[in-house]
Chain A
């Protein structure tokens, strides 16, 4: 089939899914944070606030975009574009599943496979800092400038442990292409322990995984490392002076970066689309079982509504949807596509949930603590992890 047509089709699917995830990740975050803080969260727009992202998009689109006076206009307008473009481009090299056949066409569940895929993601993330730093500078606002300065210093500092933590599993798996990295983690030790990088010999990368996650939090400017937008010191940090779609661009960039970090962690450390336990033990039935359980819970709460009156009608509808999803995962023709996708989504989604959970529970670092943590703790540990991995890998190979 025509290469270009296939690429366009894949691009459309990935982009639609990515944009929907971006919009609903924000809803999930608000809901999870709300439940951590014993609030119901968004509830008014649609059942359980499910249409809230749509309402937010309409609000942001129709708001007036104010450009502050004395702002450096070209740079001010360039910054959000840079931020969102570098954040969105990284999804192109993430593999969501193995080779599949759709309508007789063989293709990989990945937009494109670069042999320098991981370097490409690192390059995109290292360019992403310009959006934030320039936004802070161009706004002509001292709080924004402080936010931009902080983010530049923080990104530079945390990129080093991030790259070093990523380098260690590369030694085990012997590639830079994300698809080959995921494929190198197939199979099981003793028939049950998956050969993911965090379990793989000769040196399991559990420590590297933790290091990567911590540095990844900092790269995304998430709590506890959200100094660039610390709202009780800097109003809103680098995006204080931004409104309407230009603000939305920064918002999207932040969530896209979160998704990228979680996808990379899932691919490099958690085995990509490979299931937690072999198919002989029934790993193909996990999604159906999970959706059945969800349907059961929702039906139960629909029958015994405790909150809103509407729950009596809305929850059974969700229950039926879950039952339908459980049935879809059992169709043999769709299983080669859906099962890997499910495992990948579970891993990335679990990490995203962890990010939100951390935001709900941890306080923010002080600035000097942030820098000391990066250079004094994270960096030496990452170097040690890399050296030990390199030594053991060479020992086993030699």
Chain B
């Protein structure tokens, strides 16, 4: 059952990701990206990380992508036209991609041959309480640093927007 669900949603995720690159219209690309996010959330859920899955949907699919879509709609972006591709990209693109994926999967197999904790439902620390406790004890410094970083980004955006208005 887990394997079937994994295969279904893995195929959807990869299909949407390919569609994202192939599509010419920004809205179609954004929709494909939402498809990728949604199927990733299901994959997290299959692994037992239910909090991450919900946050993936709420934050990425529900907030960030809505903003993307909002901006695309607001600017009324039309169909993109491709620029002339270099001949090298046309001939070497796909083989290089396959080579790269092969190297990555080989390295993963080599250095992490049998990770027993990575299996369907095998991860038990995925509830909101466990994640929260980890964040506020073990990973407090990275957590706080990340929030300060985000705050800086917000302030920067405000400053830039104000400069534009003057």
Contact = CB atoms under 8 A, between A and B. Distances in A.
Given A119-B58, A127-B57, A153-B70, A137 B51 contact: no
Nearest to A170: B128
Contact of A156 (B27, B31, B63): B63
B83 interface: no
Contacts, number: 71
A214 to B, nearest CB: 20
Interface residues of A, number: 26
Where chain A touches its partner, the secondary structure class is: helix
A75 B69 CA distance: 13
A176 B63 contact: no
Contacts of A155: 66
Given A130-B66, A130-B69, A123 B128 contact: no
B1 to A, nearest CB: 12
A114 interface: yes
B55 A119 contact: yes
A116 interface: yes
Contacts of A123: 54, 57-58, 61-62
A115 B50 contact: yes
Contact of A130 (B34, B55, B127): B34
B73 A148 contact: yes
Contacts of B62: 122-123, 126-127, 129, 159
Interface in B107-140: 127-128
Contacts of A165: none
A134 B27 CA distance: 9
Given A137-B27, A156-B63, A126 B58 contact: yes
A56 B27 CA distance: 34
B128 A156 contact: no
Interface in B50-93: 50-51, 53-55, 57-58, 61-63, 66-67, 69-70, 73-74
B66 A156 contact: yes
A119 to B, nearest CB: 4
B66 A129 contact: yes
Contacts of A393: none
Given A130-B66, A156-B63, A149 B73 contact: yes
Contacts of B66: 126, 129-130, 133, 152, 155-156
Interface of A: 72, 75, 114-116, 119-120, 122-123, 126-127, 129-130, 133-134, 136-137, 145, 148-149, 152-153, 155-156, 159, 176
A-B interface, 9 closest residue pairs, ranked by CB to CB distance from nearest: A126-B62, A119-B54, A123-B57, A152-B70, A116-B54, A123-B58, A116-B50, A137-B73, A176-B128
Given A115-B128, A123-B58, 12 more contacts: A119-B51, A126-B58, A126-B66, A130-B34, A130-B66, A134-B27, A134-B31, A137-B69, A149-B70, A149-B73, A156-B63, A159-B63
